[in-house]
Amino acid sequence: MIRNLIGAESRAPADGADWLPVYNPATGEVIDQVPLSGAGDVDAAVRAAAGAYRDWSRTAVMDRVRLMFRFKALLEEHFEELAAIVTRHHGKTLDEARGEVRRGIEVVDFACGAPTLLQGRTLRDVSGGVDQDLYRYPVGVCAGIPPFNFPVMIPLWMFPLAVVAGNTFVLKPSERTPLGGARLAELFLEAGFPPGVLNVVHGARDAVEALLAHPAVSAISFVGSAPVARHVYTQAAANSKRVQALGGAKNHIVVMPDADPALVIPAILNSAFGNAGERCLAGSVAVAVGRAAEGLLDPLRDAASKMVVGPGDEEGVQVGPLIRAEHRDRVAAYVEKGVGEGAELVVDGRHEMSRRGFFLGPTILDRVTPGMAVGREEIFGPVLSISRAATLDEAIEQANQSSLGNMATIFTRSGRAGREFRERVESGMTGINVPVAQPFAFFPFSGWKGSFFGDLHVHGTDGIDFYTRKKVVVTRW
Ligand code: NAD
């Protein structure tokens, strides 16, 4: 039974709370129970964070960083254990889980640069005998609400930067993958951070609503689906909190006729089917420009049908299960809908649904148009749609028609086409000859349009700006 972490105390939720089963999606077995905490539990976590804030926010930056280095060392020491936790309750392959943990640790590496990142600036003699100095201060109690699909990496996008800047934190992990956040918090305490600096309250909608309403919470970091991101942004802003809310995605991969097939085929497979398509940076629609489709279809069909589907901890497996049976069925329903709307089913991964666990194999639909549900809506599963465009202009237009704008990428040997794409495509993360355009920890991560609500993206210097407020001091002696 998973428990909340309030200060240094591992605590069960208030009496009467419901519990949800946590599954191993590769077997369908229940491996744990997670509490659905309510407003009282959230209040206890926020009070613990608020209580720790006074001392923590005045703790010397070098002391904060020393603890962060210890946390980083513990994450390295427990690297394989964390990856195994991710595979066990998310389902992704061990290699994908290792990649996730590594990208998460990189944010901790970045947070260790706080003595430089938190510096302000100064201008002496701004007018006769007057100096001006800009200082950065923490904002108070911050809260983080991650999605299910990166249970270690996404919490690490949030709390290390917040706490190194002097804030205290309440993390509400996804109720579908709560084990990563729970283990991170144990390692955080073991590193020596004072109790209350990081608190964990498990739950779902009620816990989120309580965080959004709590007067002592100053900032909310959210990552999840577009409708919930919009809701969180609106509610948090209405309650005078700063907020960054990252939403869903419908990412386009534009393939120009001059692209190198040896690069493009594995890239599309990786982008569309990596993490079983449960990735906000998954390539969902491949737009074949001109004659590019000719060289694309047969190799994609062959390679996708040969991909090894199975439990993520088995050697050689390339595509793990989906998170839940209902989600798998929703993805399968999209395939049916696509066929009903006139798409051609090139590879059908639904035969994998008969296995134990929540599997659906790589699936490809051809001749998808932006008007179809499969061309327009986020599927969040291993389903690749292929659409056609006569020109680069038309391909960019297709990508830009989407209400979402998380990632878009182009494969081409033409610098001019690549540059044109970079200039005109409306996506916050844009790739040129890369399958997954993920910014490193020291750059900001986020989409545009309906994929993001707020102005400061996560991590990078945007993260530092989000978790600090500036004070300008004007001095005359
Ligand atoms: P989700 O929106 O269902 O849940 C995200 C978080 O919000 C969870 O912690 C959940 O408990 C909470 N929540 C769910 N419904 C809620 C509601 N009605 N009110 C208040 N809180 C609620 O998302 P998910 O299914 O866990 O994750 C998948 C989604 O996340 C996809 O849409 C994916 O594109 C998106 N995502 C985006 C990014 C990004 O960087 N933009 C990264 C990863 C995932």
- How confident is the model over 190-216, as pLDDT tens digits? 999 999 999 999 999 999 999 999 999
Q: Can you tell me the mean pLDDT for 133-159?
A: 98
pLDDT interval class at 334 (50, 70, 90):
very high
HEC states along 366-403? ECCCCCCHHHHCCCCCCEEEEEEECCHHHHHHHHHHCC
CA of 154 to the centre of ligand 1 (A): 11
Q: Is the pLDDT of residue 15 over 90?
A: no
Phi then psi for 143, rounded to 5 degrees? -125, 145
> Both tokens of residue 167?
């804030």
Q: Can you tell me the mean pLDDT for 424-440?
A: 97
Phi then psi for 390, rounded to 5 degrees? -75, -35
Instruction: Give the closest residue (by CA) to ligand 1 atom 26.
Output: 147
Instruction: Give the closest residue (by CA) to ligand 1 atom 23.
Output: 224
> Both tokens of residue 233?
């942004």
The answer for residues whose C-beta is within 8 angstroms of residue 184's C-beta and 6 or more apart is: 82, 152, 155, 156
Q: Is the pLDDT of residue 74 over 90?
A: yes
Instruction: Give the closest residue (by CA) to ligand 1 atom 43.
Output: 280
CA of 148 to the centre of ligand 1 (A): 7
The answer for residues whose C-beta is within 8 angstroms of residue 81's C-beta and 6 or more apart is: 183
Q: What is the pLDDT, as a whole number, of residue 241? A: 98
d(CA 250, CA 404): 6
Active-site residue, selected from the candidate residues 280, 281, 292, 379: 280
The answer for residues whose C-beta is within 8 angstroms of residue 468's C-beta and 6 or more apart is: 118, 136, 137, 138, 139, 165, 166
Q: What is the pLDDT, as a whole number, of residue 364? A: 98
Instruction: Give the closest residue (by CA) to ligand 1 atom 14.
Output: 205
The answer for residues whose C-beta is within 8 angstroms of residue 411's C-beta and 6 or more apart is: 253, 254, 255, 256, 259, 260, 263, 264, 267, 433
Contact call for residues 239 and 70 (beta carbons, < 8 A) = no
- How confident is the model over 215-259, as pLDDT tens digits? 999 999 999 999 999 999 999 999 999 999 999 999 999 999 999
DSSP state of 312: T
> Both tokens of residue 435?
């399958």
Q: What is the pLDDT, as a whole number, of residue 381? A: 98
Look at residues 463, 459, 450, 456 and name the one whose alpha carbon lies nearest to residue 225: 450
Mutate to test the pocket of ligand 1, among 89, 208, 275 (most ligand atoms within 8 A of CB): 208
Taking the CA of residue 204 as reference, the ligand 1 atom at the shortest distance is 11
CA of 226 to the centre of ligand 1 (A): 8
- How confident is the model over 113-139, as pLDDT tens digits? 999 999 999 999 999 999 999 999 999
Q: Residue 36: exposed, middle, or buried by beta-carbon count in 10 A (0-12, 13-18, 19+)?
A: middle
Q: What is the pLDDT, as a whole number, of residue 458? A: 98
Predicted TM-score (pTM) of the model is 0.97
> Both tokens of residue 18?
């419901």
- How confident is the model over 24-47, as pLDDT tens digits? 999 999 999 999 999 999 999 999
Look at residues 340, 351, 41 and name the one whose alpha carbon lies nearest to residue 202: 41
Residues having CB closer than 6 A to ligand 1 are 145-149, 172, 174-175, 204-205, 208, 223-225, 228, 231, 246-249, 280, 378, 380, 406, 447, 451
The domain limits of the chain are 4-247+451-476, 251-432
Q: Residue 199: exposed, middle, or buried by beta-carbon count in 10 A (0-12, 13-18, 19+)?
A: buried
Look at residues 74, 412, 348, 13 and name the one whose alpha carbon lies nearest to residue 203: 13
Residue type, 8: A
CA of 223 to the centre of ligand 1 (A): 6
Mean pLDDT of the chain: 97
CA of 228 to the centre of ligand 1 (A): 7
Distances (CA, A) of 26 to 19, 213, 269, 310, 421: 21, 37, 21, 7, 39
Taking the CA of residue 229 as reference, the ligand 1 atom at the shortest distance is 2
Look at residues 355, 426, 375, 417 and name the one whose alpha carbon lies nearest to residue 392: 417
> Both tokens of residue 208?
């989120």
CATH code for 4-247+451-476?
3.40.605.10
Contact call for residues 374 and 383 (beta carbons, < 8 A) = yes
Q: Do domains 4-247+451-476 and 251-432 have the same CATH topology?
A: no
DSSP state of 476: E
Give the CATH class of 251-432.
Answer: alpha beta
- How confident is the model over 437-451, as pLDDT tens digits? 999 999 999 999 999
Instruction: Give the closest residue (by CA) to ligand 1 atom 20.
Output: 205
- How confident is the model over 274-315, as pLDDT tens digits? 999 999 999 999 999 999 999 999 999 999 999 999 999 999
Taking the CA of residue 203 as reference, the ligand 1 atom at the shortest distance is 11
Look at residues 181, 149, 153 and name the one whose alpha carbon lies nearest to residue 381: 149
The answer for residues whose C-beta is within 8 angstroms of residue 197's C-beta and 6 or more apart is: 49, 52, 56, 163, 168, 169, 188
CA of 146 to the centre of ligand 1 (A): 7
The CA-based angle 142-48-75, given to 5 degrees, is 65
Instruction: Give the closest residue (by CA) to ligand 1 atom 36.
Output: 224
Q: Is the pLDDT of residue 392 over 90?
A: yes
CA of 293 to the centre of ligand 1 (A): 34
Mutate to test the pocket of ligand 1, among 37, 100, 149 (most ligand atoms within 8 A of CB): 149
- Does 280 qualify as catalytic in the annotation? yes
Taking the CA of residue 406 as reference, the ligand 1 atom at the shortest distance is 41
Q: Is the pLDDT of residue 16 over 90?
A: no
Helix (H) or strand (E) holding 461: helix 460-466
Look at residues 210, 200, 217 and name the one whose alpha carbon lies nearest to residue 155: 200
